Structure 1
Amino acid sequence: MITDHERCYRAVQARDARFDGVFYTAVRTTGIYCRPSCPAVTPKAENVTFHATAAAAQEAGYRACRRCRPDTTPGSPLWNVRADAVGRAMRLIADGVIEREGVEGLADRLGYSQRHVTRMLTQELGAGPLALARSNRAHAARVLIETTEMPMADIAFAAGFASIRQFNDSVRRTYALTPTQMRGRRRSTPTGCITVRLAVRQPFHAESLLDFLAAHVLPGVETVQGRTYARVVRLPHGLGVMALTVHDDRVDCELELADLRDTAVAIGRARRMLDLDADPVAIDEVLGADRVLAPLVADAPGLRVPSHVDGFELAVRTIVGQQVSVAGANTVLGRQVPTRGVPVDFALAARFGLTHAFPPPEAFADADPTSLGMPQSRARTIIGLSQAVADGKLDLDPGVDRDEVREQLLQMRGIGPWTADYIVMRGLGHPDVLLTTDLVLKRELERHGLTTDDTDRWRPWRSYAGMHLWRATSALERSAP
């Protein structure tokens, strides 16, 4: 439950979209919960309560507003920043761990008992892990109802419900509509594909995001065409393809999946990859107050730090890219994709010229170092990393303890601070990593007379500070005669 009632109510009065997803407004007189920016008439202060999650509002007996559709808001930026058990739990729940492994699996990953995890989430968020997962399932069901022609029974199980009755009850309780009524409101979409609009907090510097993704494209696996980034993704139940068209105020997401149970996970990973749940106002406020970063922030407000859909893939690409250019690394890996990757046959993949999923850990784990087309020391590092991931000794999923993973990586032969930090920053979405051993950033810090201690004032957004410095350096190089 949100305790600062006065501050939340001021945000509702101002219809401040910056707080969408940070908390939800529940109105006692209507039984409806909304996003703070809902354009409906502002309720009286004594008639509202505030909740940290949509699930908490639903558990309290409220249904989602049909006008502002609060379940489609950006996610709370807190879950990416926080490194504690609650933050880790929310990242894991968003990635579908409860659907695949149950509360027991979530508790095992966090290192606590199921009872303690349930108590911890309920006390802080107003809803336990099952309620949070149920809210996510209802949202996944709505997407499938509105964007596909699937039979309702298939949607129920694809969204993760255990029965048709549970599906019907949950949809009716959350949206005050039956699944059949909801389908009558759907938008028409291409057969076989799911389309959904991803909300974005403003400001949002879309151009820098597209530029970064385009500079790191691995042929066959991903591409950037115009304002659309498309790639093959490996998901818990199979492969899929996502095409993300980046606009200044939203991202249009088109999905084609081998198994529709992966719908919610795919959407969550797309959001995480594009860093759509960041809080750009808070980030820019901290970094814009710094004399060095102020002009960079003014030039690129709402700059994002691209994460990744697959921590293992990012780790391999980072290791290959040690001491070589991005283009050189992609050339090396481009030779491995056709032989070790998994061929795909999706209409969406064919439209964008995509041919393979990135090789899984098992494809590298038993490889001959001489067959990888790179220095043997680097090849052995990739093989060692792949074996650790394949054996379950190294977990690169979004809900891991980031500091613990960094220490594990540093203990592996051939992985130094730059590689470990880059994997943690992008592969695990850490917002506060400054690559002080990066040659470009080191040069920029020296040019401005900054020491590592000086950069502490950029916390907890040092990853964004690094992106601003990288972008500024690239701009200078492009403008050089």
Structure 2
Amino acid sequence: MDLDFERCYQATRSRDPRFDGWFIVGVRTTGIYCRPSCPSPVCPKPANITFYRTAAAAQLAGLRACKRCRPDAVPGSPEWNTRADLAGRAMRLIADGVVDREGVPGLARQLAVSVRQLHRLLVDEVGAPPLALARSQRAYQARLLIETTRMPFGEVAFAAGFASIRQFNDTLRAVFDATPSRLRAAVRRREGVHPGGGLTLRLALRQPYDPYGVVEWLAARALTGVEEYSDGTYRRTLRLAGGPGTVTLRPAPDHVHATFRLTTMADLGAAVARCRRLLDLDADPGSQLAVLAADPLLAPLAEARPGLRLPGTMDGAETALRIVLGPHARTLVTALADPLPGPDGRLTHTFPDPAAVAAVDLALPAARARTVRELAQRLATGELRLDEGADRAEVRRGLLAVPGLGPALVEDLMLHAVGDPDSFPAADHSLRAAAAAHQLPADPAGLIRRAGRWRPWRGYGAHLLWRAAGPPAGSSGQ
């Protein structure tokens, strides 16, 4: 989003919650930064306001978080999940905790740029360098743990990624103008503490929101032992840097309840970021709706589901293998899945990693087996990356180079394993049938031409059609 002063100021004056997460409002006279919808009774004068792309940029300017509107408790900017450029890739990797695990040199290495180039790019694009962005993220994660758990502060500091207790205390004072003790004392309820040892959080989102669209899509493809679905609640296992875990996701009209059971709380930030990506919680539905509703044939569907979200992924490699395997994925899980240290209800295994899949002879038709093995090998060696920092153009070229992956299947992989919102699997039979039912062209070439009107949100258009067709079917065969 371009930080046009007049547009941002009008959003701030009207306290429009749709802009929460898009930008930060810095008020120089009070020394605080707020979300645009801050309920403060007095809107600051234009001369006293500076707008920032990120909270980290506001913190670098010496501002602290508003205690009234809690700018740390809003959805993230949808820009970083949709942008395919270097800045967008960097922001996704920072959210996934790469700086905490590997430092800024590790982040630069994953993006194939120098540390200096990365620093300059992020300062230009978002107003803050990688370390400041990671520091801001650590502060928010620490506050979350302080307010929703009874963890000792030393453990909170470690789990949030701080190198020392002193750094932890100094950062919280600078960002929130409060000590850890004051933040915890201010909490009157302990609803985040789960009696079974898990940690339950409320994941913020933008309205409007279709609470069950993505969950039903995932439920239709759930793999026994890895996932389960019951009464609107979706549960699955997680493969994280510190070890396996599980998450329970229960949508509500204005948020998602997420209960995590992790090997180490140091993985909490990455787990939250991946759940947000899976459920597309940082999306700005108004942006997609305006484009899709401009097509008169798609408009009724867009207006019927204004809160549509795009099913994402917890792990791009897992999703890609599941799509290519189709119904055979269930057999693979039975044979190769890694067991959890202890079952969590009916969740017993994590999905096999690519190296394990590449090392076995799969009981599949010969052509399918070759494709799966080649894909798994390239994922295992890192020749092909489908993580948050992957270059989408390079990924597309890499997928097309895998024997047996044609353009139609690659579009499906780009949409669901990589999260490209403009990918469009026009050759999918169920998508073509849904298109025909709504007087849209049913042949792939004609459907692609028509979908040109929906760019850059063709993936959302595809899911509108799939949702309108009834129970989720789709092409991913997960």
Q: With structure 2 as the length reference, what TM-score do the two structures score?
A: 0.93
Distance 1:3 1:274 in 2: 27
Distance 1:320 1:475 in 2: 21
- Of 359, 367, 373 in structure 1, the residue corresponding to residue 352 of structure 2 is 359
Q: Confirm or deny that 1:93 pairs with 2:97.
A: no
Q: What is the match of residue 46 of structure 1?
A: 47
One-letter amino acid of the counterpart of residue 359, structure 1? P
Give the superposition deviation at 1:211: 2.0
Q: What is the match of residue 476 of structure 2?
A: none
1:293-372 maps to which residues of 2 (within 5 A)? 293-321=298-326, 329=327, 332-345=328-341, 349-350=344-345, 353-370=346-363
Cα gap change, 1:3/1:300 in structure 2, threshold over 3 Å: closer, same or farther?
closer
Q: What is the match of residue 383 of structure 1?
A: 373
One-letter amino acid of the counterpart of residue 426, structure 1? H
Give the superposition deviation at 1:381: 1.8
Give the superposition deviation at 1:336: 2.8
Deviations 1:358-397 (A, max 9, x none): 1112221210133xxx323212222222221221211110
- Of 198, 208, 221 in structure 2, the residue corresponding to residue 193 of structure 1 is 198
Give the superposition deviation at 1:2: 6.4
Cα gap change, 1:414/1:2 in structure 2, threshold over 3 Å: closer, same or farther?
closer
Q: Secondary structure at the match of 2:44?
A: coil
Please, which runs of 5 or more residues in structure 2 have no aligned partner?
474-478
Q: What is the match of residue 464 of structure 1?
A: 460
Deviations 1:217-247 (A, max 9, x none): 1111111221211110111221111111101
Kindly, what percent of the aligned residue pairs are identical? 49
One-letter amino acid of the counterpart of residue 216, structure 2? D
Q: Secondary structure at the match of 2:469?
A: helix
Q: What is the match of residue 324 of structure 1?
A: none
Q: Confirm or deny that 1:229 pairs with 2:219.
A: no
Deviations 1:182-241 (A, max 9, x none): 122344212532221111111111132232122111111111221211110111221111
Q: Secondary structure at the match of 2:128?
A: coil
Deviations 1:62-119 (A, max 9, x none): 1111222111211111112211111111111111111122111221222221111101
1:377-456 maps to which residues of 2 (within 5 A)? 377-445=367-435, 447-449=439-441, 450-456=446-452
- Of 248, 251, 267 in structure 2, the residue corresponding to residue 246 of structure 1 is 251
Distance 2:448 2:2 in 1: 36
Give the superposition deviation at 1:133: 0.6
- Of 207, 210, 219 in structure 1, the residue corresponding to residue 215 of structure 2 is 210
Q: With structure 1 as the length reference, what TM-score do the two structures score?
A: 0.92
One-letter amino acid of the counterpart of residue 357, structure 2? F
Give the superposition deviation at 1:168: 0.8
Q: Confirm or deny that 1:257 pairs with 2:262.
A: yes
One-letter amino acid of the counterpart of residue 120, structure 1? L
One-letter amino acid of the counterpart of residue 416, structure 2? R
Deviations 1:104-154 (A, max 9, x none): 122122222111110111122111011001111111111221222222112
CA contact (8 A) 1:34 1:64 kept: yes
Give the superposition deviation at 1:171: 1.2
Q: What is the match of residue 326 of structure 1?
A: none
Give the superposition deviation at 1:3: 4.1
Q: Secondary structure at the match of 1:234?
A: strand
Distance 1:133 1:359 in 2: 30
Q: Confirm or deny that 1:128 pairs with 2:129.
A: yes
One-letter amino acid of the counterpart of residue 40, structure 1? S
Q: Secondary structure at the match of 1:356?
A: strand
Deviations 1:316-350 (A, max 9, x none): 110012xxxxxxx1xx3333324311212457x22
Give the superposition deviation at 1:290: 0.7
One-letter amino acid of the counterpart of residue 217, structure 1? A
Distance 2:69 2:416 in 1: 32
Distance 2:361 2:256 in 1: 41
Distance 1:53 1:106 in 2: 19
Please, which runs of 5 or more residues in structure 1 have no aligned partner?
322-328
Q: What is the match of residue 142 of structure 2?
A: 141
Cα gap change, 1:426/1:345 in structure 2, threshold over 3 Å: closer, same or farther?
same
CA contact (8 A) 2:434 2:468 kept: no
Q: Answer with 58-67 or 125-134: which moved more.
A: 58-67
Give the superposition deviation at 1:444: 4.4
CA contact (8 A) 2:123 2:129 kept: yes
One-letter amino acid of the counterpart of residue 395, structure 2? V
Distance 2:390 2:398 in 1: 12
Distance 1:406 1:185 in 2: 49
Number of aligned positions between the proteins: 462
Cα gap change, 1:2/1:30 in structure 2, threshold over 3 Å: closer, same or farther?
farther
Distance 2:225 2:57 in 1: 42
CA contact (8 A) 2:3 2:53 kept: no
Distance 1:235 1:182 in 2: 29
Deviations 1:22-64 (A, max 9, x none): 0011111221111111111222222211110011111111111
CA contact (8 A) 1:288 1:297 kept: yes
Distance 1:58 1:91 in 2: 20
One-letter amino acid of the counterpart of residue 154, structure 1? E
CA contact (8 A) 1:256 1:346 kept: no
Q: Secondary structure at the match of 1:206?
A: coil
Give the superposition deviation at 1:476: 11
Cα gap change, 1:346/1:15 in structure 2, threshold over 3 Å: closer, same or farther?
farther
Q: Confirm or deny that 1:35 pairs with 2:35.
A: yes
1:93-172 maps to which residues of 2 (within 5 A)? 93-172=94-173
Distance 1:310 1:476 in 2: 21
Q: Secondary structure at the match of 1:197?
A: strand
CA contact (8 A) 1:145 1:182 kept: yes
CA root-mean-square deviation: 1.8
Give the superposition deviation at 1:180: 1.5
CA contact (8 A) 1:241 1:346 kept: no
Q: Secondary structure at the match of 1:240?
A: strand
- Of 286, 289, 307 in structure 2, the residue corresponding to residue 281 of structure 1 is 286
One-letter amino acid of the counterpart of residue 25, structure 1? V
